[in-house]
Amino acid sequence: MQSLGDGIGRWTAEQSRFLKSHGFSDPKSWALNATGLTTREYRAALSLEGKLFAYGLAPCKNGHTLKTAGGCPQCNTQYLSYARKNVTPGYVYVARSASTRLVKVGLSENFRNRLYIANLEGYAGIWDWEVRDYIYVQEMGRAEARIKRSLAAYGVDAPCMGALELPSGSPRESD
């Protein structure tokens, strides 16, 4: 992997304007020069460097060279929401369904309301979610990802929107 700060890639005024128009006041501070890196390399470098955007990459079908770990934010602004949640303060919570023994890890600025809505709507076909634990963090998306990776070692991903089924004897199962 080449040096990340060597200035090979070109940061454009268009990229800066685009990100500023979406609330990133100092966009280049969140950007990584990824010229010459493969997709796997630039995604790893984003995580390692704590950056949200990579530039200097092969253009997308519309000619944009700015990417998030997910894809081109200029073509699909939903990628900006995913990037922003990584560095937004809020709550990461763990909820459990007594009827199914599934565990849900989520993030929200108001986790109590989020679980209330999840139960009203039957999130993942379940209506008995209860908060088991929560913590306020400065970067809720990154914290949620770390917790999910840790929990995955004790269970398997269930096909219901990110809930994890924990086998007997796993942490907190006896709670």
Count of CB atoms within 10 A of residue 64's CB? 19
Q: What are 105-119's pLDDT values in tens digits?
A: 888 999 999 999 999
More confident residue, 121 or 165: 121
Question: Would you state the pLDDT for residue 102?
Answer: 87
- Rounded CA-CA distance 165/38 in Å is 34
Q: What are 43-72's pLDDT values in tens digits?
A: 888 877 878 999 999 999 999 999 999 999
Q: Helix, strand, or coil here: 55?
A: strand
Residue 161 has pLDDT above 70, yes or no: no
Supply the mean pLDDT for the chain: 82
DSSP assignment string, 95-121: EEETTT-EEEEEEESSHHHHHHHHHHH
Give 140's contacts (C-beta < 8 A, 6+ positions apart).
85, 86, 88, 89, 90, 91, 92, 107, 108
- Rounded CA-CA distance 168/109 in Å is 31
Q: Which of 11-25, 72-86, 133-147 has the lowest mean pLDDT?
A: 133-147
Q: What are 76-92's pLDDT values in tens digits?
A: 999 998 888 878 899 98
Contact between 127 and 64 (Cβ < 8 Å):
no
Residue 172 has pLDDT above 90, yes or no: no
Q: Helix, strand, or coil here: 136?
A: strand
